[in-house]
Amino acid sequence: MVLLTEGQRRELLPVARGDAELLALDQVVAGLGISVTSDVAGGAVTLSRLKHEVNLYNRKSLAAVDGDLRLLSSPVLLEDGRWLVPVDAVPRLLGPLLDRRAEWRAASRVLLVGNVKVPRVAVATYLSADVARVVFEASEKVPFRVEQEAGRVNVTVARDLVDVSFQQQRLTGGIVDSVQFLGGKDSLFAVTLGRRFKELKAVEQDSPPRLVLDFQGLPGPAPAEAAAAVDAPRAPALTDAALRTVVIDPGHGGAETGAQGPGGAFEKDVTLQIARKLRAMLVNSLGLQVFLTRDRDEDVDLDTRTAVANNYKADLFISIHANASRARAAAGTEVYFLSYQASDEESRRLAQAEGAIAPPVNPVAGAAPDLALILWDMAQAEHLEESSSLASRIQEEVAVVRGSEGRGVKQAPFRVLVGAAMPAVLVEVAFISNPDEEKLLTSDAFQTKVAAALVRGIARYRQARFPVTAERPPAGVRPAP
């Protein structure tokens, strides 16, 4: 694991305690100008720098950051006078102390502090009858390295940190069987060759910086027939069968306020409040690990939101929004999952209002496909059925709370759901443009009820999807009688 700051690059050695991964506090703060005051007898430790202060407590999953309580993913531990903190919590302590942006990139195992520039690499694939093309596109020039070994081609990028929102894709046709991101120190991508593979041609391009791999195939059956032969049986997903990590995306933020109600409430504030409540309930009642794409009022672009979920290898992605309509009377909850065809014209307009609309899928044989389309194709397409099942359960639970069937489950091309490599839904909690619903949206009681309904929906989804590991939702999250 690496700690990267503008001026420092350090290796950190985490320790495991149960499921949690922890770091020694003294190791983390070395050289960062943070003072540590340990009260071993009292079971507390204080970190301070300038006017900022963070308090941690032995065996508690809590931190007081400048007086605000924050939930951590696992307890802080005091062992033989040494403080251990959960790895994913470290940026939430360092950020405020150093007045710097701080992040934990789980996939690359890098703690990022300050304005460190990180190249992004996207992967796209394209199949024709006798060529399988895999394109690696980078946001800046990076040292791609290609190595061919028996049955496999390895592509590495020798940089400390590379943003990759790609996990794996299986290909049909028998030339290339799969492309997988294995990560690690050199950000390894593995291309598994199929039985029809003949030879590889690699070309690097400059603008944009790209590595294009063309895998030539031996003559074989047409791709459609080959697809049927290769596709079944499908290999199981690489992830363990359990629901552990959820990423919640509070819609909008910063200068991007989202919709505004007639009483002046901003969508970006309401979404953050509901997201925080939902996080606390998911952690406390379902024991899940939960991350927010933003935990304060800041701009976060749409692609970064799904990239966060992909980096954390989240099992679910839930984007929270409030609806708006020119018709003041419009009311109710809507739950969406991704499609390129909107359920209706209204859904299409909404997807447009919530950010750039995703482009339609229309791959033309022989043409180089748009990278974004291919990414969509690989990431969310695999999970549509689960996304739909999650959306239905959430819709049913919210309907109970709201005392009406609501506006149902819909599909629309929401840009923020594109590229999520896990089941993903977008919830339009209520209409902020409706004066009555605006009041509801800003009320603590309604926010709590809606969050509890989402928790029940998620619990039911988990029960159906992972019957062995799932537990019943505890009494605390049942609907009020």
Give me the least distance between CB of 322 and Zn ion, in Å please: 6
Stretch that binds Zn ion, among 255-263, 279-287, 289-297, 459-467 (CB under 5 A): 255-263
Residue placing its CB nearer to Zn ion in the complex, 354 or 397: 354
Residues that contact Zn ion, how many (by CB under 5 A): 4
The answer to the question of residue 258 lying near Zn ion (CB under 5 A) is: yes
CA distance 143 to 252: 35
The answer to the question of residue 251 lying near Zn ion (CB under 5 A) is: yes
Q: Which of 21, 354, 437, 438 binds Zn ion (CB under 5 A)?
A: 354
Residue placing its CB nearer to Zn ion in the complex, 294 or 321: 321
Query: Residue 359 — φ and ψ, nearest 5°?
Result: -75, 155
The answer to the question of residue 462 lying near Zn ion (CB under 5 A) is: no
Give me the least distance between CB of 204 and Zn ion, in Å please: 40
Binding track, positions 306-325, relative to Zn ion; x by CB under 5 A: ---------------x----
Stretch that binds Zn ion, among 37-45, 117-125, 141-149, 349-357 (CB under 5 A): 349-357
CA distance 22 to 385: 36
The answer to the question of residue 261 lying near Zn ion (CB under 5 A) is: no
Q: Which two tokens stand for residue 304?
A: 């970064």
**Could you tell me which residues come within 8 angstroms of residue 28 by beta carbon, excluding any fewer than 6 positions away?**
3, 12, 85, 90, 94, 111
Give me the least distance between CB of 207 and Zn ion, in Å please: 34
- State the residue number with the nearest CB to Zn ion: 321
Stretch that binds Zn ion, among 92-100, 173-181, 196-204, 347-355 (CB under 5 A): 347-355
Residue placing its CB nearer to Zn ion in the complex, 212 or 353: 353
Residue placing its CB nearer to Zn ion in the complex, 194 or 258: 258
CA distance 127 to 320: 36
The answer to the question of residue 253 lying near Zn ion (CB under 5 A) is: no
Q: Which residues sit at the interface with Zn ion, rule CB under 5 A?
A: 251, 258, 321, 354
